[in-house]
Structure 1
Amino acid sequence: MISRRTARLAALAGLPAALMLGGPAAVASAADDEKAHQIDLTPQNGSGAEGAAFLSVEGTELTVNVDAKGLVPNSPHAQHIHGSTEGMDFHCPSPDADKDGDGIVSTAEGLPSYGDIMISLTTKGDTSMDSGLAVERMPKADADGNLKYERTITVSQKVADHIQDLHLVQHGIDVNGNGKYDAEAGKSELDPKLPQEATAPANCGMVKGAAIGSMPVGGVETGGGQDTTAASPALIAAGGAGLAGAAGVLLVARRHRGAGQ
């Protein structure tokens, strides 16, 4: 007997085909039948990274499928579901969010637009904000810059009820086109030991049908009027705990590949 989870995954896998064969109407029909939602990931920061994600909710179980391309090859990419379950209006940032004029909308500059982390899309273990930058548990793009991800996560009832108010962001860009993270764009505001390239948003996408309104007023998620020009304290804390080993992870991975060659 095919399990309910397997059936949901099969339905999600069929959504791209439905888009090709039947157009948006076919996708909408499939999404309604399977309680699935489509996200089109579009490039941020001139990364060229794009793709699609599909979210399926059953009770408080959320199944996430991501298929992206154009990412930094052989590199881990932090990815999260952002937004609010409290009615705040968050969305993907525009180029205007680049307040320092360096040509990059950094994580700190983007947070006022897309809100704090609701779910960290890790490959295993914790999926809370605390794992927002646990690079060792984030998916890794292959040698061609393609990334595929699938995981079923238990979420709160609020998240399940407000899935259409959320959106997905993948991080990690290559400013100078040399195929790896380096210090070309300076240091990350989340952890000065790491390059900006490793944490800057690469793409973003909202759930289809979600409303796009004005910039949120007040602080990230809380609405309490806190300063939204700085990165979330929780995200910075996560940077200290999770991203501190990212450079080592990348170095070990490169040494391993070198030894294999």
Structure 2
Amino acid sequence: MTVQRTTRLAALVALPAALTLAVAAPSLAAGSGKAYQIDLEQLNDSGASGTVMLSAQGTNKLNVKIEAEGLTPGQPHAQHLHGSTEGIDFHCPDASDDTDGDGILNNTEATKDYGDINISLTTSGDTTPDSGLAVDRMPAADAQGKLSYERTLAVSPDVIEHLKDLHVVQHGIDPNGNKKYDFGKGKSELDPKLPQEATAPTNCGMVMGAAVGSVPVGGVETGSGSTDGMEAPGMFAAGGLTLVAAAGALTVARQRARRSAQNG
């Protein structure tokens, strides 16, 4: 009787630990988030640079913050998340991608490297690729060529899952330095109503340290700005301590049961 009673006590002691872990698992999944930093580096000798923060909120919202400088003053700058949510490898282009040799890396030449538009980073309204050239809803640089942008977007779970595979591109260059877009470099190949200067990429950035595509480098998923896989470490620690405590209680109960059996 003593052995059975002690065993039941041990089971009751272990039950709260099991319940704690069961509750922690869905809470962790619901509260988990990914946060990545992207450094924007110039294209087309634009001198434009910046920093982007991508922060997931649950499974279908994404907060995007951008601070950029060196842009064409007072002009709107189309900006997008480019890349794939299917693990296809894309990356930022360089000057060697200017295949027609005209001295300007246009969007068509660069797209083979950074992929199609996934999300248009507009200031309001639609964010689909259809709004890629909605310059009236794109942020404009101030008189010093600086741009600040923040918006929380509704996105698909695939975007959240593949954030490390996406990258940011801003558009709009000023090669002749007259602080406006003109047709000095011809018409945009995307829309002849727009000058090439308005649509050519001015900078591009990839997630810091992240593997290109969905295949991790060296078998370890990288990404220095990411909390992916390490969200809420305190929760893991608490769960681990609870599990250890439960195991210790169970061990003590068993030892007491054996001693009672021997004494009985």
**Alignment partners' CA distance in 1, 2:119 and 2:192:** 24
Report the equivalent of 1:48. 47
**Alignment check: 8 A CA contact 2:98 2:104 kept:** yes
Unaligned runs of 5+ in 2: 1-31, 214-264
Shift of 1:36: 1.2
Matched-pair contact (CA < 8 Å) for 1:75–1:140: yes
Q: Name the residue aligned to 1:12.
A: none
Give 1:102's aligned amino acid.
D
**Matched residue SS, 2:113:** helix
**Structure with max Cα Rg:** 2
Moved segments of 4+, more than 3 Å:
none
1:1-261 equivalences in 2 (<5 Å): 35-59=34-58, 60-212=60-212
Once the two structures are TM-superposed, the CA of residue 211 in structure 1 deviates from its matched residue by: 2.1
Q: Is the 8 A contact 2:78 2:170 kept in 1?
A: yes
**CA shift digits 1:153-193 (9 cap, x unpaired):** 01001001000000000000001011110111111001112
Q: Is the 8 A contact 1:166 1:206 kept in 2?
A: yes
Deviation at 1:209, TM superposition (A): 2.0
* C-alpha separation in 2, matches of 1:68 and 1:154: 23
Q: What is the Cα deviation at residue 212 of structure 1? A: 4.1
CA contact under 8 A between 1:92 and 1:114: conserved in structure 2? yes
Q: Which residue of 2 aligns with 1:22?
A: none
Structure 2: distance between partners of 1:46 and 1:169: 15
Q: Is the 8 A contact 1:45 1:201 kept in 2?
A: yes
Q: Is the 8 A contact 1:164 1:209 kept in 2?
A: no
Aligned length: 181
Q: Deviations over 1:110-162 (max 9, x none)?
A: 01000001100000000000101100000000001000000000100100100
Structure 1, gaps ≥5 residues long: 1-32, 214-261
The Cα shift of 1:58 comes to: 1.7
- Quote the Cα distance in structure 1 between the aligned partners of 2:97 and 2:65: 28
1:68 aligns to what SS in structure 2? strand
After superposition, the C-alpha distances for 1:5-57 in whole angstroms (9 at most, x for unaligned) are: xxxxxxxxxxxxxxxxxxxxxxxxxxxx9631000000000000001000000
TM-score, length-scaled by structure 2 = 0.67
- Greater RCO structure (CA 8 Å; 6+ sep): 2
CA contact 1:45–1:104 (8 Å) conserved in 2 = yes
Contact 2:120/2:127 (CA < 8 Å) preserved in 1? yes
AA paired with 2:209?
G
Q: Any conservation in 1 of the 2:73–2:180 contact (CA below 8 Å)?
A: yes
Residues 68 and 146 in structure 2, CA contact (< 8 A), matched pair in contact too: yes
**What percentage of residue pairs aligned between the two structures are identical?**
65
1:73-129 deviation digits (Å, cap 9, x = unpaired): 000000000000111100101111100001111000001000001100000000000
RMSD of aligned residue pairs (Cα, Å): 1.2
